[in-house]
């Protein structure tokens, strides 16, 4: 019985989507002699009629006109971001190394100034990371992102 | 349809078959050129499939902005990974794997606020009033479409996906099987359960057909 029902379901899907072969059509018509199968078929057919009448709105032509350009720009910018990041990492590492030298070995600087420099650098770094993280988090989860102001 | 004769040279492929084969060859060339780093060739692939990609993502995510962003992002990822792609295979089926992962991640990361269907969809036909309980036409049609869309948004993402691919995008069972890397029988079975879930959710909206 389960196998019979399974066979009917598959034939019904093909019937709804116009993919029945003539032989399957005959088989399907035989199934429809049974009241339960016929009822299910009519229900699914009705649903199909509704969904058939729906389609997505076509966006403005400019979306398609600029589509590839946007992909291209993002592709290029991807490389630019990688290069920029590499440069920034090297630059920052060198800067921190120099700063470390000044703070640790710079005997001419008063201790208070050294502490101030360290506090300033650490504070800025924490603040920067925190703001970036918050922005990324909000951008990802903001439910009103698509609401136009 | 091929003409059966004894002489193999007179086997005539239909115009449709010739066109499909040409398109496949053309696609293969574009893929090979893209693998060599020719962005213009990849651009052709993008132009060829951008609408399919956008509308499928729109159906899954329910957001026009996300569909545009994710479909473009998927093309970027596809370009970066194109050297791993085997040129003989259908490009869109491969690309779709990337797109669907992005769409599903988007749905997982963000509690969905899908746009109502009236914003992203419209009527294709004017036959829907036949199956409504009340005979008021345009308004009824809008209502039932809105209800269908809301019901679709309550389905599991996999159920919604297969309905979008078949009902809205009109892919064949074979195409869907290739895109989701599942057997054709599973496609039909998934379609059955997705349609059943949708029908169950709309039971109070639709007439008793018997």
Q: Where are the domains of chain B?
A: 18-110, 127-210
- pLDDT computed for residue A64 by the predictor: 93
Residues of A in contact with B192 (CB under 8 A): 9-10, 12-13
> For the domain bounded by B127-210, which CATH number is listed?
1.10.10.10
Range in A55-64, B6-15, B74-83, B192-201 with the lowest mean pLDDT = B6-15
Q: A42 and A25 share a domain?
A: yes
Residues A47 and A74 in one domain: no
Same domain, A15 and A69: no
A26 domain residue, yes or no: yes
Asked whether residue B135 carries a pLDDT value surpassing 70, the answer given is: no
Q: Which residue of A has its CA nearest to B51?
A: A64
Which residue is closest to B76 within chain A, CA to CA?
A75
Q: Which residues of A touch B (CB under 8 A)?
A: 6, 9-10, 12-14, 16-17, 19, 38-39, 42-57, 59, 63-64, 67-68, 70-72, 74-75, 78, 140-141, 143, 145-146
Q: Tell me the mean pLDDT in the region B43-48.
A: 95
CB contact under 8 A, A46 and B206: yes
B18-110 maps to which CATH number? Answer: 1.10.1740.10
Closest-CA residue of B relative to A52 is B167
Chain B neighbors of A15, CB-CB under 8 A: none
- A147 in any annotated domain: no
Tell me which residue in B46, B196, B198 faces A71 most closely, judged by beta carbons: B46
Does one domain contain both A128 and A78?
yes
**What would the two tokens of residue B51 be?**
């609408």
Q: What is the ipTM of this complex?
A: 0.74
A49: nearest CA in chain B? B128
Q: Using CA atoms, how far apart are residues B147 and B150, in angstroms rounded to an integer?
A: 5
Q: How confident is the model at residue B13 (pLDDT cuts 50, 70, 90)?
A: low
CB within 8 Å of chain A, chain B residues 117-156: 117, 119-128, 130-131, 141, 144-145, 148-149
Same-domain check for residues A81 and A119: yes
Q: Is the pLDDT of residue B181 over 50?
A: yes
**The model's pTM:** 0.72
Same domain (yes/no): A44, A12: yes
Residue of B nearest to A66 (CA): B47
What's the confidence (pLDDT) of residue B40? 92
Q: Do residues A43 and A81 share a domain? A: no
| Structure confidence at residue B146 (pLDDT) | 84
Instruction: State pLDDT tens for residues B49-95.
Output: 999 999 999 989 888 889 999 999 999 999 999 999 988 889 999 99
Q: Are residues A136 and A78 in the same domain?
A: yes
Render pLDDT for B16-42 as a digit per residue (tens, 0 to 9): 555 656 676 688 999 999 999 999 999
Q: What pLDDT does residue B18 have?
A: 56
- Whether residue A146 lies inside any domain: the answer is no
Same domain, A92 and A136: yes
The alpha-carbon gap from B133 to the nearest alpha carbon of chain A, in Å, equals 12
Where among A11, A35, A52 does a domain terminate?
A52
Angle between helix axes A35-52 and B184-201 (nearest 10 degrees) is 80
Measured between CA atoms, how close is A4 to chain B, in angstroms? 14
Is A28 inside any structural domain?
A: yes
Same domain, A31 and A91: no
Reported for B84-91, long-range contacts at CB under 8 A and 24+ positions apart, including other chains, are B85/B31, B85/B35, B87/B28, B87/B31, B87/B32, B87/B35, B88/B28, B90/B27, B90/B178, B91/B27, B91/B30, B91/B31, B91/B45, B91/B49
Note whether A47 and B199 are within 8 A (CB): yes
Asked whether the beta carbons of residue A53 and residue B128 sit closer than 8 angstroms, the reply is yes
Residue of B64, B75, B148 lying closest to A54 (CB–CB):
B148
- Please give the angle made by the CA atoms of B101, B171 and B84, to the nearest 5 degrees: 45
Is the domain of A132 the same as that of A74? yes
Alpha-carbon span B209 to A59, nearest angstrom: 36
- Minimal CA separation from B173 to chain A, in Å: 9
B contacts of A146 (beta carbons < 8 Å)? 63, 65-66, 113, 115
Residue A149 lies in a domain: no
Q: Tens digit of pLDDT per residue, chain A (149 long)? A: 678 888 999 999 999 998 899 999 999 999 999 999 999 999 999 888 888 878 888 889 999 999 999 999 988 888 788 889 899 999 988 988 888 787 777 667 788 888 888 889 889 989 998 888 887 776 655 555 544 44
Q: Is residue A148 part of a domain?
A: no
Range of the domain at A104: 61-141
Q: CA B73 from chain center: how many Å?
A: 17
Domain count, chain A: 2
Of A10, A51, A68, nearest to B167 by CB-CB distance is A51
Poorest-confidence range of A2-6, B2-6, B196-200?
B2-6
């Amino acid at each position: 019985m389960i196998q019979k029902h399974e066979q009917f379901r598959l034939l019904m899907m093909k019937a709804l989507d116009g993919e029945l072969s003539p032989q399957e059509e005959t088989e399907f018509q035989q199934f429809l002699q049974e009241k339960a199968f016929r009822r299910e078929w009519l229900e699914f057919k009705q649903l199909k009629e509704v969904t058939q009448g729906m389609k997505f709105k076509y966006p403005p032509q400019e979306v398609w006109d600029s589509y590839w350009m946007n992909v291209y720009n993002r592709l290029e910018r991807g490389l630019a971001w990688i290069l920029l990041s590499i440069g920034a990492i090297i630059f920052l590492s060198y800067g921190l190394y120099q700063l470390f030298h000044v703070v640790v070995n710079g005997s001419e600087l008063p201790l208070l100034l050294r502490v101030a420099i360290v506090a300033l650098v650490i504070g800025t770094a924490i603040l920067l990371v925190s703001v970036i993280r918050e922005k990324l988090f909000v951008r990802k989860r903001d439910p009103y992102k698509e609401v136009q102001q | 349809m091929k003409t059966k004769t004894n002489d193999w040279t007179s086997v005539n492929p239909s115009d449709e078959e010739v066109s499909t084969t040409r398109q496949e060859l053309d696609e293969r060339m574009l893929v090979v050129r893209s693998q060599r780093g020719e962005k213009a060739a990849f651009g052709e692939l993008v132009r060829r499939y951008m609408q399919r990609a956008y509308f499928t993502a729109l159906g899954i995510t329910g957001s026009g902005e996300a569909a545009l962003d994710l479909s473009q992002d998927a093309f970027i990822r596809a370009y970066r990974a194109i050297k791993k792609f085997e040129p003989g295979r259908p490009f869109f089926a491969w690309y779709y794997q990337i797109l669907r992962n992005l769409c599903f991640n988007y749905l997982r990361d963000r509690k969905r606020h899908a746009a109502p269907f009236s914003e992203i969809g419209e009527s294709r036909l004017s036959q829907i009033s036949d199956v409504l309980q009340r005979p008021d036409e345009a308004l009824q049609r809008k209502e039932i479409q809105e209800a269908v869309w809301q019901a679709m948004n309550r389905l599991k993402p996999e159920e919604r996906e297969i309905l979008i691919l078949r009902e809205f995008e009109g892919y064949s069972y074979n195409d869907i099987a290739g895109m989701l890397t599942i057997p054709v029988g599973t496609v039909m079975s998934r379609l059955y359960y997705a349609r059943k879930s949708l029908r169950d959710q709309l039971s109070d909206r639709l007439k008793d057909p018997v």
